[in-house]
Amino acid sequence: MAEDSTAGQNSADEQWIEELLSISKEEKMTPKQISILQAAIEVFSEKGFSATATSEIAQKAQVAEGTIFRYYKTKKELLLAIVGPTMSRMIAPFVLRNFNGVLDVPFDSYEEFLRAFIVNRLEFARKNFKIIKIVIQEIPFQPALREQFMENVLSKVLERVIAITEHFKEKGQLIDVPTPAIIRFTISSAAGYLLTRLLLQPEKEWNDEEEIDLTIRFILHGIGGSPSK
Amino acid sequence: MAEDSTAGQNSADEQWIEELLSISKEEKMTPKQISILQAAIEVFSEKGFSATATSEIAQKAQVAEGTIFRYYKTKKELLLAIVGPTMSRMIAPFVLRNFNGVLDVPFDSYEEFLRAFIVNRLEFARKNFKIIKIVIQEIPFQPALREQFMENVLSKVLERVIAITEHFKEKGQLIDVPTPAIIRFTISSAAGYLLTRLLLQPEKEWNDEEEIDLTIRFILHGIGGSPSK
Amino acid sequence: MAEDSTAGQNSADEQWIEELLSISKEEKMTPKQISILQAAIEVFSEKGFSATATSEIAQKAQVAEGTIFRYYKTKKELLLAIVGPTMSRMIAPFVLRNFNGVLDVPFDSYEEFLRAFIVNRLEFARKNFKIIKIVIQEIPFQPALREQFMENVLSKVLERVIAITEHFKEKGQLIDVPTPAIIRFTISSAAGYLLTRLLLQPEKEWNDEEEIDLTIRFILHGIGGSPSK
Amino acid sequence: MAEDSTAGQNSADEQWIEELLSISKEEKMTPKQISILQAAIEVFSEKGFSATATSEIAQKAQVAEGTIFRYYKTKKELLLAIVGPTMSRMIAPFVLRNFNGVLDVPFDSYEEFLRAFIVNRLEFARKNFKIIKIVIQEIPFQPALREQFMENVLSKVLERVIAITEHFKEKGQLIDVPTPAIIRFTISSAAGYLLTRLLLQPEKEWNDEEEIDLTIRFILHGIGGSPSK
DNA sequence: GATGAATGAGCTTTCATTCAT
DNA sequence: CATGAATGAAAGCTCATTCAT
């Protein structure tokens, strides 16, 4: 329905709703807490974690300074509260289909997988742009974050992606190159598009479908011309 | 050989110490100033600019805190003094050969260009790893930095790279895909290798020559297996 | 009687505590804020504005240093908060009787006016001695202060005093000398008494009534002996 | 002589020359030292002693920072070096004629004395305006200064002025009022003119001769009209 | 729960003073 | 003599955190 399709195109500012929903399954959040998180996401992504004053978050959240510390013992804990759940959801599409240990690859071709992967992560990145920016900025400086990322995100994603890659290698859809390299090529190319699309030239008019097609074709066949022929 | 030609380009980068310290160009730097810069690079890259206390820089540089401010009026000025010259040197290999407006492409094949480019930038990134990390971390938050980067680095590099790309497109060595996309694919793939190599898995034993070969082959021909068809 | 009428004017000044603390007018002040102001007045008048450390104010006010800056964003703002209201009250007796534009001179003789004026300002100066000292010390160096003084205090007082002076000149009670000179003579003589009384020889035993009588007689008749002939 | 009278009208900025001459009798000053003093006078009078940085003095004097401390061990010593000699010269006209204890009053009338006194001190104040400003500003805060002023200046001047006053009281030229009061009246009136003339309205066009006449007439006869007569 | 006044450690920056050259 | 690099104590100010209300 129109409802749904437009919902998919929701403004980036509403990213928190989705986030909150996934949290609300665990614990209820008060409106104050929600606006604290909203404000913190806003200011952290704009100024960086260290350069952000809790007083500014409080002001933007229309909340007393003390209230922030009622919910989150320290400023760092507030950071983790924002970034943790989003990191979990980064891997959702990879683990969802992997439950009960069955290695099932629901794609007929690597191309199909690639397209689903890029489209899906583009959507995710669009919705969680600010939080992702925070994650990337702070991972180098927050050991807790890096550890969580390595253990809960990267390793699980890799595990899954390795399986998929080798699945298609066996099917002959991928050339016989070490799996880590193939994964690196794929992710580099996909991430290159996402970054250009959302960060470097966000205001440019993009034809996503076309660009994704180009990107996939590149991943599969490269950019080398065949003049020899 | 590619080895030699890139080595020739490297020679510009090899002066990095002198150039970073701008000894050969503007004024001499005192040992104190040098150790301030070194300490600042160390701590900024380790903790981030905002989270770094000038007192820590002073301590690491074995210098009184006031001494820092004799050389750099503010902490931000110190940041720019570190980052500015390095940004200039990021583009050195691109502008060097572009002098007097002649569009000369000193490579017979795109592959040759690619190899020279990757080898050269890998060397540069290895030597300037910490500073590059600082640049990447602070560009989103320091308008002065972003502006300088956009105007002095990115635009000049792109201008040159566009010329090179279209040169090889005309020679039929590259497929007929919009130039921006080709550049994006190339840079994504190269950067993907550099990041993995230096940031994500720096401790892994890397066979650079082999990996660069793989990466170039990927850029030119992709990872799609042909036999499946 | 002069006594009564000046007492009536004094009543405005007698509220100095409340008024300085602006309790009756704008907002309530906390005890901490009051003791900050009191400590600041003390130390500023004793050491001068520039030579006063905020840490000393904090210590004297039994308050953490940060608390000062909760109430006053900068040290200079604290100065203005002390000095501003007092400057306003310097002119109170002059504007009070000037309401609704009517030029009324509630004194039968210049002598009566003089006595009321000197008594009233002596009282005011006695009560606000330290603040006045601060004002005088800082006016040459604080443009904001000087401007405020010129526009809000001096011009209004002069306007009123000119009117009074010309009123008594018309009545023949004052000789025909340019009004600015007359005002200068009067204020010099009155201020000369106040300064000697409060600043130069504060510990001397003063018979104020007698000295004021002498001063008024001087202003009116000078010190020239008549028998010279 | 013409020499002398024009020398008396020297521009205010050359006040230091006169000062230096009076010092040079004791010890030679180097050009550096002179420009340090000049610069210090300038900046102290403009910003106040405490708010002045020695670095600014050095800069304005075209001298290295260390040079200042070669001549004056501390910043305060520099202040005293400026202010001390000038204070001595404040009393010059009073002590000059008082040598060998003879009480000689070289004036036939108090009026004559007054005129000489005011003209002379106006000239002095004009030449030493900036230094006098510094003296007045810093006396409240520098005990050393206050002590020197009290002992070396005020007491000697008073001693002399008391003698003069009583001389003319005996001659019947002054009314029989306590001498301290008479002195106060005289000095207040004279100082009132000097301050108005040099500080409050320096840019106004003044007819000094006329104003001094008015002031003297005021001191002697007051401003009271004689309508009753 | 929610507040926001209060804190004090710590920040960046200034500055009088020293001293090797 | 003169310099100016170097110092480090102290300045003004910020900010994460606490706690009485």
Model pTM score: 0.85
Whether A187 and B185 lie within 8 Å, measured CB to CB: no
Interface test with C, best of D188, D208, D212 (most C CBs within 10 A): D188
Q: How far apart are CA C187 and CA D161, in angstroms?
A: 23
Separation of alpha carbons C29 and C37, rounded Å: 10
Classify residue A51 by its DSSP letter: T
Rounded CA separation A96/C218 (Å): 102
Q: Give burial (CB, 10 Å; 0-12/13-18/19+) of C1.
A: exposed
Residues of B in contact with A219 (CB under 8 A): 222-224
Rg (C-alpha) for chain A, rounded Å, is: 20
- Contacts of C206 by beta carbon, 8 Å cutoff, 6+ apart: C197
Helix (H, G, I), strand (E, B) or coil at B63: coil
User: Measured in angstroms, what separates residue C69's CA from nucleotide F14's C1'?
Assistant: 9
Return the structure tokens found at D198. 């040099």
Q: Which of these, A115, A118, A111, lies nearest to A174 by C-alpha position?
A: A111
**Residue D148 half-sphere exposure toward CB, CA atoms < 13 A:** 18
The average pLDDT across D10-31 equals 54
Q: Measured between beta carbons, which residues in chain D are less than 8 angstroms from residue C224?
A: 110, 173-175, 219-221
Residues of A in contact with B50 (CB under 8 A): 48, 50-51
Q: What is the pLDDT of residues C147-189, one digit of tens each?
A: 989 888 888 888 888 988 999 988 889 999 999 999 999 999 9
Q: What is the mean pLDDT of residues D220-228?
A: 70
pLDDT value of residue D100: 47
Using the structure, give the distance in angstroms from the CA atom of B91 to the C1' atom of F14, rounded to a whole number.
39
Report yes or no: B137 at the A interface, CB cutoff 8 Å.
Answer: yes
The nt closest to D30 (CA vs C1′) is: F1
Q: Taking residues C30-49, what's their average pLDDT?
A: 95
The reply to whether B36 has its C-beta less than 7 Å from any atom of strand E is no
Distant-in-sequence, close-in-space partners of C208: CB < 8 Å, separation ≥ 6? C122, C197
pLDDT at A54: 97
Mean pLDDT over residues B185-208, rounded?
A: 94
Q: Which chains touch B (3 or more CB pairs under 8 A)?
A: A
The residue among B11 and A127 whose pLDDT is bigger is: A127
**Average model confidence (pLDDT) across chain C:** 83
pLDDT digits (tens, 9 = 90+) for D84-102: 888 888 877 666 655 444 4
Q: Considering chain C, what percentage of its residues have pLDDT values greater than 90?
A: 54
Instruction: Using the structure block, give the residue that is written with the tokens 């010593």.
Output: D77
Task: Count CB atoms within 10 A of the CB of residue C11.
Answer: 9
Domain ranges of chain A: 6-223
* Of C212, C180, C210, C177, nearest in space to C194 by CA: C212
pLDDT of residue A228: 44
Q: How far apart are CA D72 and CA A166, in angstroms?
A: 82
Residue A181: list chain B partners with CB under 8 A.
Answer: 211, 214-215, 218
Quote the pLDDT of residue C98.
52
Report DSSP letters for C211-226, one per residue: HHHHHHHHHHH-SB-S
Specify the pLDDT at position A3. Answer: 36
Q: What percent of chain D has pLDDT over 70?
A: 80
Phi, psi of D174 (to 5 degrees): -125, 145
Q: Return the higher-pLDDT residue of A6 and A151.
A: A151
- Answer yes or no: is pLDDT of D20 > 50: no
Q: How is residue A72 annotated by DSSP?
A: -
Report the C-alpha gap between C179 and B226 in whole angstroms: 108
Q: How far is the CA of A16 from the C1' of F14 (A)?
A: 30
Distances (CA, A) of A184 to B73, B87, B137: 43, 27, 22
Q: Across C101-105, C220-224, D30-34, which has the greatest mean pLDDT?
A: D30-34
Stronger pLDDT, A27 or D85, i.e. the higher one? D85
- Looking at domain D6-223, its CATH architecture is Orthogonal Bundle (1.10)
**Between these two residues, D91 and A178, which has the higher pLDDT value?**
A178
State the pLDDT confidence band at C90, using cuts at 50, 70 and 90: confident
**pLDDT band at residue C109 under the 50/70/90 scheme:** confident
Tokens of A126: 């669009």
Q: Which of C49, C113, C112 is nearest to C76 (CA)?
A: C49
Query: CB neighbours (10 Å) of residue B99?
Result: 8
Q: Given pLDDT bands bounded at 50, 70 and 90, which one contains residue A60?
A: very high
DSSP state of A74: S
Which of C48, C177, C222 is the closest to D214 by Cβ?
Answer: C177
Contact assessment for residue D40 and residue D86, using Cβ atoms and an 8 Å cutoff = no
Q: Read off the pLDDT of residues A194-219 as tens digits, 9 standing for 90 and up.
A: 999 999 899 999 999 999 999 999 99
A220 CB within 8 Å of a chain B CB: yes
- Looking at residue A139, its pLDDT comes to 93
Mean pLDDT along residues C65-91? 92
User: Long-range contacts for C217-221 (Cβ within 8 Å, ≥24 apart)?
Assistant: C217/D222, C218/C189, C218/D177, C218/D181, C218/D185, C218/D222, C219/C114, C219/C185, C219/C186, C219/C189, C219/C190, C219/D222, C219/D223, C219/D224, C220/C110, C220/C111, C220/C114, C220/D222, C220/D223, C220/D224, C221/D221, C221/D222, C221/D224
pLDDT digits (tens, 9 = 90+) for B16-67: 444 555 444 445 788 999 999 999 999 999 999 999 999 999 999 999 999 9
Q: State the average pLDDT for chain D.
A: 83
Q: What does the alpha-carbon distance between residue D211 and residue C188 come to, in Å, rounded to a whole number? A: 14
Q: Determine the Cα–Cα distance for residues B55 and A113; give it in Å rounded to an integer.
A: 52
Which one has a higher pLDDT value, A2 or B132? B132
Alpha-carbon span D188 to D206, nearest angstrom? 19
- Terminal CA-CA length for chain B: 37
Q: Which positions ≥6 away from B211 have C-beta within 8 Å? A: A181, B193, B197
- Please state whether at least 3 CB pairs lie below 8 Å between chains A and B: yes
Look at residue D189 in the predicted model and tell me its pLDDT. 96
Q: What region does B22 belong to: left with phi over 0, alpha with psi -120 to 50, or beta?
A: left
pLDDT tens per residue across span B199-221: 989 999 999 999 999 999 999 99
b/e sequence C132-166, b meaning 16+ C-beta within 10 Å = bbbbebbbbbbeebeebbeeebeeebbebbeebbe
Tell me: pLDDT of D211 over 80: yes
- Nearest-by-Cβ selection for B185 from A175, A181, A223: A223
User: Among partner residues A182, A192, A193, which is closest to B223 by beta-carbon distance?
Assistant: A182
Per the CB < 8 A criterion, the answer to whether B164 and A157 are in contact is no
29-88 of chain C touching strand E, CB 7 A cut-off: 30-33, 63-67, 70
In the chain, the amino acid numbered A35 is S
Residue environment code for B46-77, b if the CB has 16+ CB neighbours within 10 A, otherwise e: eebbbebebebbbeebebeeebbeebbeebee
Give D116-166 pLDDT, tens digit per residue.
Answer: 889 989 999 998 999 999 999 999 999 989 888 888 888 888 888 898 899
Beta bridge partners of B224: A174
Residue D175, chain C, CB below 8 Å: the answer is yes
| Statement: the CB of D63 is under 7 Å from strand E | no
Residues contacting C177, CB < 8 A, separation 6+: D214, D218, D223
Tell me the mean pLDDT in the region A83-109.
71
Collect all residues with Cβ–Cβ distance below 8 Å to A61 and sequence separation of at least 6.
A32, A35, A36, A38, A39, A40, A68
Is residue C13 within 8 Å of C85, Cβ to Cβ? no
Residue C16: band (very low, low, confident or very high) from pLDDT cuts 50, 70, 90:
very low
Q: How far is CA D53 from CA D32, D65, D72, D75, in A?
A: 18, 10, 15, 9
Quick check: B103 pLDDT over 70?
no
Structure confidence at residue D31 (pLDDT): 87
pLDDT band at D75 (very low <50, low <70, confident <90, very high): very high
| Encoded tokens for C147 | 């401007």
Span between the terminal Cα atoms of chain A, in Å: 49
User: What is the model's pLDDT at position D13?
Assistant: 44
The pLDDT of residue D226:
60
Average pLDDT value for chain B: 84
Average pLDDT over residues C206-218: 94
CB D61 within 8 A of CB D69: no
Neighbours of A127 (CB within 10 A): 24
